[in-house]
Amino acid sequence: MDQITLDILWNRLIATVNEQAAALMRSSFTSIVREAGDLSAGVFDCRGRMVAQAVTGTPGHINSLATGMIHILERFPADSLVPGDVLITNDPWKTASQLNDITIATPIFSSHKLVAFCVNCCHALDIGGRGLSADSRSVYEEGLFIPVMKLYEVGKPVEAIFEFLSANVRTPEEVHGDIHSQIVGNNVGGKQLLAFLNEFGLADIESLADEIIGRTEKGMRDRIRALSDGEYRIKLTIDGFDAPVVINTRIIIDDDELTVDFEGSSGAVPQGINVCLNYTRAYTTYGIKCVISPDIPNNEGSFKPITVTAPPGSILNARHPSAVGGRHLVGHFLPSAVMGAFAQALPERVMAPGFDGLWDTHIAGVERGTGKHFSFTWFSAGGAGALKDQDGLSATAYPSGIAGVPAEVIETLAPLVIRRRELRADSGGPGTFRGGLGQTMEIEVLTDEPYLFNGLYERINFPAPGLHGGKQGQTGRLLTSNRAELKSKISCRLPEDTVVTLEMPGGGGFGSPMQRDPMRVLNDVRNGYVTPTSASKDYGVVIDTERWEIDGSATKELRHQMTE
């Protein structure tokens, strides 16, 4: 296939999956999908190979779909499907490692011939059980487990599945609504795909998939081959649940093959922060692509040269029925583990660790005045790590890519008041380039009864470390207006007058703070990112805040003392 034709076909394919994702987001019933973008969408060939993904979405969803579709076709082979069939599952060990994440796969037919699959995955507002939490003791406590099943059969809904959903979730309207949005998204993608195939006279996407996947695999192998053969290691320690969790990472480069082995990592724990292997693969392969091949398409070809292993029964390869509801509190640290391992060999391509583990907040109770029960979940971000030539992004959800939900949306959809939301000064780790800042959120609940508060938070005890002389970011903190006890991963009932404050962690710095441009430090102080005290203590820069200028003599003396 000539390059020009391939470029045209590829761009049309990307436009198709982007429209598929956009239709899902525009029709969604929840802010989790509509505003936060906690979803992914892709097109697969008839063999179950991922060919293209939408530009929006999370690595945990899309890269898990890449392996999940194989499991789906094992249950329902391609030749057993007919027009009008729609498949559903939320099996954590086959898809995105959490019951809240529901996968919908729609076979696309042209004249009764199967030509492709449109597939998406997004976070359901509720799936029953304990709700989104990390303090479950098994997956059975975490909600309704949906094996790979037909949700629609020959165009007709399987009503029993919808009835089971309604009977097991607290918000059936939103859950049903988003499932229908997922079906709509796939249908829109399917229509676009059929129009695309008809325009170019293609019977299916098999030959196009072979070309795209083959070129992607070659490009990925070339990038791996350009690295020096050998082993690269790092050990990261994070909060865990009752005890710290160790992520022990060994990367082996052998010609054009790359293996990531997590042997030596912590074992599975009784609570819900365990990770299924497909989710471990998802975020590990994402971290590798960020380092060596961010410009190469993400599809079956980019995964072929990479092997990811973790010992069965470890926290990164948990066995059924381990609790996995908060799996991202470990899984989101894997890109930082990959970059930390490569930090010495490829310093120009890595970033320092950030807050990494997405902060999830779930509040449920009875609304003041109406007596109506409410249940609401949203995601928040701390600071990302710095790069060798760029400050870390503040209040940005790396590696998940999920957007923060605006305060106005939160207050519209739930009886909550966001009394304060601001960047957290000094939370980013000092460095030649500073770590990104965390944020502070102060939340009031409009209720006259005690309410359920459930947070899934990390980096309360172990801060984001810096790289190459950069300093660590600040850890997160949880505060309440009446000194009620609030732990980072345990559900609790709080008195109705309790105001909760979340102070989110900052990212690690990159390079020695003594090498930071003093004018950058001055601008940081003027913008409120760094306090004058920290400018002096961490960077050796003394600032006259009345004139907003650097005290040159004092800065010179401080820098001399700190260098010594």
Quick: pLDDT tens for 151-185: 999 999 999 999 999 999 988 999 999 999 999 99
Number of CB atoms found within 10 A of residue 97's CB: 28
- Under the banding of pLDDT at 50, 70 and 90, the label for residue 375 is confident
Strand partners, 493: 452
Q: What is the mean pLDDT of residues 445-450?
A: 97
Whether 72 has a pLDDT exceeding 70, the answer reads yes
Domain ranges of the chain: 3-216, 351-511, 517-564
| 274-294 per-position pLDDT tens digit | 999 999 999 999 999 999 999
Q: How large a percentage of the chain has pLDDT more than 70?
A: 100
Q: What is the pLDDT of residues 247-271, one digit of tens each?
A: 999 999 999 999 999 999 999 999 9
Which pLDDT score, from 0 to 100, does residue 483 have? 82
Residue 313 has pLDDT above 90, yes or no: yes
Other Cβ atoms closer than 10 A to 271: 22
> Measuring CA to CA, which residue among 196, 224, 179, 39 is closest to residue 108?
196
> Which residue, chain included where needed, has tokens 């094996």?
147
- Taking a C-beta distance cutoff of 8 angstroms, is the pair 479, 503 a contact? yes
Q: What is the pLDDT of residues 529-550, one digit of tens each?
A: 999 999 999 999 999 988 888 9
- pLDDT exceeds 90 at position 552: no
Region 431-455: mean pLDDT is 97
Q: Give the CA distances from residue 25 to residues 18, 171, 188, 562, in Å, rounded to whole numbers and listed in that order.
A: 11, 19, 12, 52
Residue 564, pLDDT score: 64
Q: Starting from the edge strand earliest in sequence, which strands make up the sheet with 492-494, in order?
A: 373-380, 359-366, 451-456, 492-494
Confidence of residue 554 (pLDDT cuts 50, 70, 90): confident
Residue 560, both tokens: 């001399």
With bands split at pLDDT 50, 70 and 90, how would you rate the model's confidence at 363? very high
* pLDDT of the residue at 560: 75
Verify cis geometry, omega within 30 degrees of 0, for the bond prior to 399: yes
What value does the mean pLDDT take over residues 111-128? 95
Asked if residue 421 has pLDDT above 90, the reply is: yes
pLDDT in tens, 205-224: 999 999 999 999 999 999 99
- Asked if residue 95 lies in contact with residue 68, where contact means CB atoms within 8 angstroms, the answer is yes
Dist CA 115 CA 197 (whole Å): 9
Element (H, E) at 558: helix 552-563
DSSP H or E stretch at residue 198: helix 172-200
DSSP-derived letter for residue 81 is: -
pTM: 0.95
Containing H/E element for 439?
A: strand 439-445
49, 67 Cβ separation under 8 angstroms: no
- Looking at this protein, which amino acid is placed at residue 363? I
Give the pLDDT mean for 470-490. Answer: 92
Give me the residue label for tokens 């892709």.
Answer: 42
Q: Cβ-count burial of 204 within 10 angstroms (0-12 exposed, 13-18 middle, 19+ buried)?
A: middle
CA dihedral 223, 226, 232, 238 (to 10 degrees): -30
- CA distance linking residue 280 with residue 247, whole number of Å: 11
Say which DSSP state 467 is in: B
Mean pLDDT taken over the chain: 95
SS3 363: strand
